[in-house]
Amino acid sequence: MLGQSQAMSKITRRKFLSISALAFPALLGADAGLVEPNALRVTKLKLNGGGKCRLVHFTDFHHKGDVRYAAEVIRTINDLDPEFVCFTGDLVEDRCFAAEALGFIRQIKAPVYGCPGNHEYSSHVSFRDYEDAFGATGGAWLADRNLILQQHDLEIVGMGIVGLNIVPALPASRRLLLMHYPRVADHLGDRHFDLILAGHSHGGQVRLPFWGALIVPRGVGPYDLGYYETSGGPLYVNAGIGTYRLPLRFNCRPEITLVTL
Whether 81 and 180 map to the same domain: the answer is yes
Please report the pLDDT score of residue 161 as a whole number.
83
- The span from the CA of 224 to the CA of 203, in Å, is 5
Please report the pLDDT score of residue 52 as a whole number.
79
Please report the pLDDT score of residue 27 as a whole number.
37
Segments forming the whole domain that contains residue 30: 1-38
Please report the pLDDT score of residue 14 as a whole number.
54
Please report the pLDDT score of residue 51 as a whole number.
63
Whether 50 and 3 map to the same domain: the answer is no
Whether 13 and 140 map to the same domain: the answer is no
Mean pLDDT over the full length of the chain: 88
Whether 73 and 177 map to the same domain: the answer is yes
Please report the pLDDT score of residue 50 as a whole number.
60
Please report the pLDDT score of residue 148 as a whole number.
97
- The span from the CA of 155 to the CA of 10, in Å, is 69
- In tens digits, what is the pLDDT along the chain, a chain of 261 residues? 444 444 444 456 555 444 444 443 433 444 444 457 799 999 999 997 666 799 999 999 999 999 999 999 999 999 999 999 999 999 999 999 999 999 999 999 999 999 999 999 999 999 999 999 999 999 999 999 999 999 999 999 999 987 787 788 999 999 999 999 999 999 998 899 999 999 999 999 999 998 988 989 999 999 999 999 999 999 999 999 999 988 999 999 999 999 999
Whether 148 and 216 map to the same domain: the answer is yes
pTM equals 0.86
Please report the pLDDT score of residue 23 as a whole number.
41
Are 86 and 114 within 8 A, CB to CB? yes
DSSP string across the chain: -HHHHHHHHHHHHHHHHHHHHHHHHHHHHHIIIIIGGG--EEEEEE-TT--S-EEEEE------S-HHHHHHHHHHHHHH--SEEEE-S-S-SSGGGHHHHHHHHHT-SS-EEE---HHHHHTT--HHHHHHHHHHTT-EE-SSEEEEEGGGTEEEEE--SS-GGG----S-SEEEEE-S-GGGGG--TT---SEEEE-SSGGGSBEETTTEES---TT-TT--SEEEEETTEEEEE---SS-SSS---BS---EEEEEE-
Whether 201 and 93 map to the same domain: the answer is yes
Whether 32 and 44 map to the same domain: the answer is no
Whether 1 and 52 map to the same domain: the answer is no
Whether 72 and 171 map to the same domain: the answer is yes
- 40-74, pLDDT tens digit by residue? 999 999 997 666 799 999 999 999 999 999 999 99
- The span from the CA of 168 to the CA of 157, in Å, is 10
Whether 125 and 140 map to the same domain: the answer is yes
Whether 74 and 135 map to the same domain: the answer is yes
Number of structural domains found in the chain: 2
Residue 250 sits in a domain whose CATH number is: 3.60.21.10
Please report the pLDDT score of residue 49 as a whole number.
65
Helix axes 67-80, 98-106, angle to 10 degrees: 20
Please report the pLDDT score of residue 31 as a whole number.
42
- The span from the CA of 76 to the CA of 70, in Å, is 10
Whether 241 and 221 map to the same domain: the answer is yes
